[in-house]
């Protein structure tokens, strides 16, 4: 099933510095950039900016220590922590210290202990405070956890008369640019720029009843590696993945599916305008002929399961191949090259990567693979054992070579 497209979410935490007055402007700009925003104001922040101006800019009620300790039945710090990106503005020395030392006695600190998305700190404080070893040690601690810092900058600091110097908070436009950079780094360009690559990955699950299914141990690592390699070479990538233990890679569209029928519908849809399709998915060949709606209780003695074949997605793609380069995988335990060549012919694939599940170090779930490239005519090339990422790169090299060959030019001139 396809997840409906959702707006990206941003949590803005406002700290207790005079620069807090810039936070409504930031919230407005984030919303203009398409973000759904939530806002937490610390107790100190509310001395500089009113809840009403924050709420008006955020389009949401402001979360504060009062709303946290109030009569709410939910754990507000956990729901707020689910934002796609977290920005702490007017970040004071006190807030940095609490976050760096795992304090959880106020809503902002407790939420920061629970966030999963990237964290951007935008500090604002007096230059002497910022330079103090205690503050710098806290900053280093947070950086070591992957948090990012923007500023403080050199310039007139606030309106409190401290004069000029380090300490001014970055402007809202710069903060929005930093947020966008954190969430979607600039698209790379390379030899696949302008091409669309569709990759299927992982296993499928064929349910017998609501709680039991037939599947296989595919980790999805091979497909994710191909997709990431294609992304880094500039391709527009769609990754269609069965249930695997890997997060959505940034910089591509990832579609999660369960069954072979769902995989088929998503891949065929994405492949319509694709240039290269790589089917690494370990598709279950069969599904239950009659999937039980209710959980099946055990019975005495043997049971029989009636299975019906799933459609062959690669073969279907092969029937309407057009200009696409079509690549499959095959796992064989015997007569590998011969069987893979006949699969490539039957499914009209340009080539198939053959691997052996029994081979040491290249079995399901590993980081390496040792594959043999097999063409429909039976011509084969055994590649040495290498990382799945390197296998991915070589698959894409070969796909580009085939495209260039078809176009009648050498790969360097395409």
Catalytic positions, please?
Answer: 216
Looking at beta carbons only, is 227 or 314 nearer to ligand CTP? 314
Strand partners, 239: 199, 254
**Which residue carries 């599916």 as its tokens?**
257
Task: Pick one of 176, 279, 341, 395: the residue that binds ligand CTP (CB under 6 A).
Answer: 279
Are 26 and 89 contacting, i.e. CB atoms less than 8 angstroms apart?
A: yes
Looking at beta carbons only, is 309 or 361 nearer to ligand CTP? 309
- CA distances to 93, 210, 270 from 213, in Å: 53, 8, 26
Looking at beta carbons only, is 106 or 312 nearer to ligand CTP? 312
Task: Pick one of 173, 273, 285, 338: the residue that binds ligand CTP (CB under 6 A).
Answer: 285
Phi and psi, residue 160, nearest 5°:
-90, 0
Asked if 313 is part of the footprint of ligand CTP (rule: CB under 6 A), the reply reads: yes
Asked if 373 is part of the footprint of ligand CTP (rule: CB under 6 A), the reply reads: no
Task: Pick one of 42, 310, 355, 372: the residue that binds ligand CTP (CB under 6 A).
Answer: 310
Asked if 371 is part of the footprint of ligand CTP (rule: CB under 6 A), the reply reads: no
Task: Pick one of 236, 266, 312, 393: the residue that binds ligand CTP (CB under 6 A).
Answer: 312
Strand partners, 346: none
Sorted by sequence, the CB contacts under 8 Å of residue 49 that are 6+ apart come out as: 14, 20, 21, 23, 24, 41
For the bound state, the minimum distance from the C-beta of residue 401 to ligand CTP, rounded and expressed in Å, comes to: 20
For residue 226, count CB atoms less than 10 angstroms from its CB and return exposed for 0-12, middle for 13-18, buried for 19 or more: buried
Sorted by sequence, the CB contacts under 8 Å of residue 82 that are 6+ apart come out as: 9, 116, 117
For the bound state, the minimum distance from the C-beta of residue 34 to ligand CTP, rounded and expressed in Å, comes to: 35
Asked if 227 is part of the footprint of ligand CTP (rule: CB under 6 A), the reply reads: no
Asked if 223 is part of the footprint of ligand CTP (rule: CB under 6 A), the reply reads: no
Asked if 271 is part of the footprint of ligand CTP (rule: CB under 6 A), the reply reads: no
Asked if 226 is part of the footprint of ligand CTP (rule: CB under 6 A), the reply reads: no
- Distance (Å, whole) CA 149 – CA 152: 8
- Distance (Å, whole) CA 37 – CA 11: 6
Asked if 369 is part of the footprint of ligand CTP (rule: CB under 6 A), the reply reads: no
Looking at beta carbons only, is 227 or 279 nearer to ligand CTP? 279
Task: Pick one of 98, 147, 287, 343: the residue that binds ligand CTP (CB under 6 A).
Answer: 343
Strand partners, 369: 386
Asked if 283 is part of the footprint of ligand CTP (rule: CB under 6 A), the reply reads: yes
For the bound state, the minimum distance from the C-beta of residue 332 to ligand CTP, rounded and expressed in Å, comes to: 7
For the bound state, the minimum distance from the C-beta of residue 350 to ligand CTP, rounded and expressed in Å, comes to: 12
For the bound state, the minimum distance from the C-beta of residue 184 to ligand CTP, rounded and expressed in Å, comes to: 29
Binders of ligand CTP in range 319-338 (CB under 6 A): 328-331
Asked if 197 is part of the footprint of ligand CTP (rule: CB under 6 A), the reply reads: no
For the bound state, the minimum distance from the C-beta of residue 276 to ligand CTP, rounded and expressed in Å, comes to: 13
Asked if 350 is part of the footprint of ligand CTP (rule: CB under 6 A), the reply reads: no
The string over 355-369, giving b where at least 16 C-beta atoms fall within 10 Å of a residue's C-beta and e elsewhere, is bbeeeeebbeebeeb
For the bound state, the minimum distance from the C-beta of residue 195 to ligand CTP, rounded and expressed in Å, comes to: 20
Q: Considering only 74-82, 90-98, 170-178, 312-320, which stretch makes contact with ligand CTP by CB under 6 A?
A: 312-320
Asked if 206 is part of the footprint of ligand CTP (rule: CB under 6 A), the reply reads: no
Looking at beta carbons only, is 91 or 344 nearer to ligand CTP? 344
Residue 212 corresponds to which tokens in the numbers above? Answer: 């039991």
Task: Pick one of 195, 281, 325, 399: the residue that binds ligand CTP (CB under 6 A).
Answer: 281
The string over 259-271, giving b where at least 16 C-beta atoms fall within 10 Å of a residue's C-beta and e elsewhere, is bbebbbbbbbebb
Looking at beta carbons only, is 124 or 281 nearer to ligand CTP? 281
Residues at the contact surface with ligand CTP, assessed by CB under 6 A:
260, 279, 281, 283, 285, 310, 312-314, 328-331, 343
């Amino acid at each position: 099933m396809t997840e409906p497209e959702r707006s990206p979410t941003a949590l803005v935490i406002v700290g207790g510095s005079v620069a807090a007055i810039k936070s409504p402007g930031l919230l407005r700009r984030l919303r203009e950039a398409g973000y759904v925003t939530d806002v937490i104001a610390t107790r100190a922040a509310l001395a500089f900016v009113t809840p009403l101006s924050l709420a008006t800019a955020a389009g949401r009620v402001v979360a504060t220590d009062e709303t946290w300790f109030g009569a709410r039945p939910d754990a507000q710090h956990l729901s707020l922590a689910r934002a796609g990106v977290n920005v702490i503005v007017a970040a004071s020395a006190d807030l940095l210290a609490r976050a760096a030392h795992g304090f959880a006695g106020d809503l902002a600190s407790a939420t920061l202990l629970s966030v999963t998305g990237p964290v951007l700190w935008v500090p604002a404080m007096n230059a002497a405070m910022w330079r103090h070893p205690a503050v710098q040690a806290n900053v280093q601690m947070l950086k070591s956890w992957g948090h990012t810092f923007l500023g403080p900058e050199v310039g007139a600091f606030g309106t409190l008369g401290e004069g000029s110097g380090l300490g001014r908070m970055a402007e809202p436009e710069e903060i929005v640019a930093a947020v966008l950079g954190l969430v979607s780094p600039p698209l790379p360009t390379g030899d696949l720029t302008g091409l669309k690559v569709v990759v299927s990955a992982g296993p499928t699950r064929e349910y017998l009843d609501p709680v039991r299914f037939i599947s296989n141990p595919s980790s999805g690592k091979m497909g994710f590696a191909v997709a990431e390699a294609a992304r880094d070479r500039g391709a527009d990538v769609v990754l269609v993945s069965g249930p695997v233990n890997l997060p959505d890679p940034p910089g591509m569209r990832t579609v999660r599916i369960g069954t072979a029928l769902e995989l088929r519908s998503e891949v065929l849809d994405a492949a319509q305008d694709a240039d290269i399709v790589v089917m690494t998915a370990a598709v279950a060949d069969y599904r239950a002929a009659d999937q039980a709606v209710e959980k099946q209780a055990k019975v005495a003695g043997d049971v029989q399961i009636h299975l019906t074949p799933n459609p062959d997605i690669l073969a279907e793609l092969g029937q309407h191949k057009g200009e696409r380069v079509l690549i499959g995988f095959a796992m064989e335990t015997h007569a590998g090259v011969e069987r893979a060549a006949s699969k490539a012919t039957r499914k009209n694939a340009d080539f198939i990567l053959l691997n052996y599940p029994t081979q040491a170090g290249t079995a399901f779930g590993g980081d390496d693979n040792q594959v043999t490239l097999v063409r429909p005519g039976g011509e084969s090339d055994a590649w040495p054992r290498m990382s799945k990422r390197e296998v991915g790169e070589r698959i894409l090299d070969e796909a580009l070579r085939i495209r260039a060959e078809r176009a009648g030019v050498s790969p360097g001139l395409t």
